[in-house]
């Protein structure tokens, strides 16, 4: 079974802090994704990566950056956290040839105060 | 207008009922149609997917796609309390299959 592990279940940060959300997958998947999930808005893609050191912007990249130095690890960075970034963040991975089959972590609930 | 619309529910049914979950979409380029299930405090998991039009059955679950109406459905037969979850539809184009567009999810409660 694919396992996607997100480092924290809950995080509380202050406005202006730099925040790191970490994600690790153990199935050698090429693709990795960061989504945020908000009530009524569903899942929205922030960034994705299809290879080490490669990244592509999703639909809502503003205020975020990512890092993928190793194949199994994909980090989401909030450069200066703001209250409108309070959300559930979900990391996912998928194999290159079956990219629609996303395997999600259990999410990090981030609260910015 | 959102690209994918989904009624948020909640939808409450008695055990054993047939459940119908639906999504509409506006982008005619969508070719992959997926249903993800999300239990409380968990990440979504892929339940079924269909390429282009038609039906697909897997046990108690049937996915239908009507591209002419831009409408997709998930039917659950003999629903069980363990089916209680949020169901998210998702879609993508053939040339950008990695970029899924998700509906907002329908919360389903199956009462014992």
pLDDT per position as a tens digit, B73-88: 999 999 999 999 999 9
How far is Cα B50 from Cα B62, in angstroms, rounded to an integer? 10
- In DSSP terms, A45 is beta-bridged to A35
In this complex, do B43 and A4 lie within 8 Å of one another by their Cβ atoms? Answer: yes
Q: Decide if B49 touches A, using CB distance below 8 A.
A: yes
The pLDDT tens digits of the residues spanning A39-98 come to 888 899 999 999 998 999 999 999 999 999 999 999 999 999 999 999 999 999 998 877
| Yes or no, beta carbons of B44 and A102 under 8 Å apart | yes
- Residues of chain A contacting B44 with CB distance shorter than 8 Å: 43, 90, 102, 104
DSSP of B28-66 = TTEEEEEEEEE-TTS--EEEEEEESSEEEEETTEEEEEE
Q: What is the pLDDT of residues A49-66, one digit of tens each?
A: 999 989 999 999 999 999
Residues on chain B touching A35 (C-beta within 8 angstroms): 102
CA dihedral B1, B7, B10, B14 (to 10 degrees): 180
Looking at the predicted structure, is the pLDDT value of residue B59 above 80? Answer: yes
A104 vs B contacts (CB less than 8 Å): 43-45
Whether chain A has a CB inside 8 Å of the CB on B27: the answer is no
Report CB contact under 8 Å: A100, B98. yes
Q: What is the pLDDT of residue A1?
A: 67
CB-CB neighbors (< 8 A) of B92 in chain A: 100
- From residue B83, alpha-carbon distances to A26, A40, B87 in Å are 28, 21, 10
List CB contacts of A97: < 8 A, sequence separation 6 or more: none
Give the C-alpha separation, A8 to B43, whole Å.
14
Tell me: pLDDT of A30 over 70: yes
Task: Give kind and range of the element (H or E) at residue A44.
Answer: strand A42-49
What distance in Å separates the CA atoms of residue A94 and residue A30, rounded to the nearest whole number?
A: 7
Encoding tokens for residue A95? Answer: 């194999």
Q: Under a CB-based contact definition with an 8 Å cutoff, are residues A104 and B43 in contact? A: yes
The whole-number pLDDT of residue B97 equals 65
A41 touches chain B (CB under 8 A): yes
Separation CA A68–CA A108 (nearest Å): 18
């Amino acid at each position: 079974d694919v396992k996607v592990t997100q480092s924290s279940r809950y995080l509380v940060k202050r406005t202006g802090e730099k925040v790191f959300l970490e994600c690790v997958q153990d199935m050698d998947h090429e693709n990795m994704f960061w989504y945020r999930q908000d009530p009524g808005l569903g899942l929205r893609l922030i960034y994705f990566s299809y290879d080490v050191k490669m990244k592509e912007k999703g639909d809502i990249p503003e205020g975020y950056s990512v890092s993928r130095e190793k194949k199994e690890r994909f980090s989401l960075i909030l450069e200066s956290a703001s209250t409108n970034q309070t959300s559930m963040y979900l990391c996912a991975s998928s194999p290159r040839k079956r990219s629609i089959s996303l395997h999600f972590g259990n999410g990090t609930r981030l609260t910015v105060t | 207008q959102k690209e994918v619309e989904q009624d948020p529910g909640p939808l409450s049914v008695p055990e054993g009922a047939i459940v119908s979950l639906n999504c509409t979409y506006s982008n005619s380029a969508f070719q992959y149609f997926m249903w993800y299930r999300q239990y409380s405090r968990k990440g979504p998991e892929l339940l079924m997917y269909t390429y282009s039009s038609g039906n697909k059955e897997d046990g108690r679950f049937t996915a239908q796609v009507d591209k002419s109406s831009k409408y997709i459905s998930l039917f659950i037969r003999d629903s069980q309390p363990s089916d209680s979850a949020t169901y998210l539809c998702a879609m993508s184009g053939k040339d950008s299959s990695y970029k899924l567009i998700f509906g907002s999810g329908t919360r389903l409660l199956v009462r014992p």
